[in-house]
Amino acid sequence: MKKDFRTVALIGRFQTAAVGESLRDIADFLGSRNVEVLFDEGTAASIGFGEASGAPIERLGHEADLAITVGGDGTMLGVARLMAPYGVPVVGINHGRLGFITDIPLAGWRPALDSILNGKFDSEERSLLTSRVLRDHEAIWHELSLNDVVVSRSSRSGMIELQVEVDDQYMYTQRGDGLIIATPTGSTAYSLSANGPILHPLLRGLVLVPVAPQTLSNRPISLPDDVKIVVRVVGGREPRVACDMQVFTDLQVGDDIIIERAPFTARLLHPPGYSYFATLRGKLNWQELPHSLQRREPER
């Protein structure tokens, strides 16, 4: 991976007015380091440059050495999906609330970016999922997911009935509010709230988590991530499928949703000292040992 980041795509949650000032500060900082800054159209408009000053995603993907997002996890998810096919690594500055994957706090962005621009960072590759909807054997929709694929009922309807196959083997038919197919990254998102397990992001696996199943014996199950999962809508009114809870399409009874691992990964960069377990402790309020009892490094 490149460690000389000369062109950086800067993308913010432009719907939030307070992000604009941070974006301008970061752009000025990057300029002082002789780094060329490219904005997407929405970000350029939000900080007063106008949409014409922004670049389309294709240009960002082809020209940027690094993408920096300013916002919450939702912003990071959207940008990571867009940049992953181009192999552009992504850094997340948290201007939101939760921040599982936007791990750089807003107050600490300057030293964090300084380290990363100096080539000092930790790198991770996170798996993504591709989803295709087949209707009468014809593909009518496709999308990428970094967190999860969710097949669910409408809020105005009753239960949905889904049939699941894994690598062409029948698994089960379930009735409930829906089904989550989550990556390790997404195991701390909607999947976690539905009592799914946490998967370490380096684990090559997926987890299927029923949402409010009619039969309580329908439990979450972990699978290897190289399988092909087919979810067929057997019954229910107004079903739909969502990728990362950001992009949706309506479904019909008889539709098949085919879910597979994407042929590329999302690259996430973290400043030195990043710890996945520290993130879990902070976000999930896990208990910490008193400092005096914490493990100490052996003397050299």
Instruction: Respond yes or no: is residue 73 known to be catalytic.
Output: yes
Q: Tell me the C-alpha distance between 190 and 51, whole Å.
A: 33
**Locate tokens 């867009």: which residue?**
82
Q: How many CA atoms lie within 13 A of 61 on its CB side?
A: 13
**Locate tokens 């299927």: which residue?**
208
Q: Tell me the C-alpha distance between 285 and 287, whole Å.
A: 6
Q: Tell me the C-alpha distance between 181 and 204, whole Å.
A: 14
Residue 103, judged by CB atoms within 10 A of its CB (0-12, 13-18, 19+), counts as: buried
**Residues whose CB falls within 8 Å of the CB of residue 83, separated by 6 or more in sequence, listed in order:** 9, 60, 61, 64, 67, 89, 90, 266
Q: Say which of 4, 25, 65, 73 is annotated catalytic.
A: 73
Which residue numbers are catalytic?
A: 73
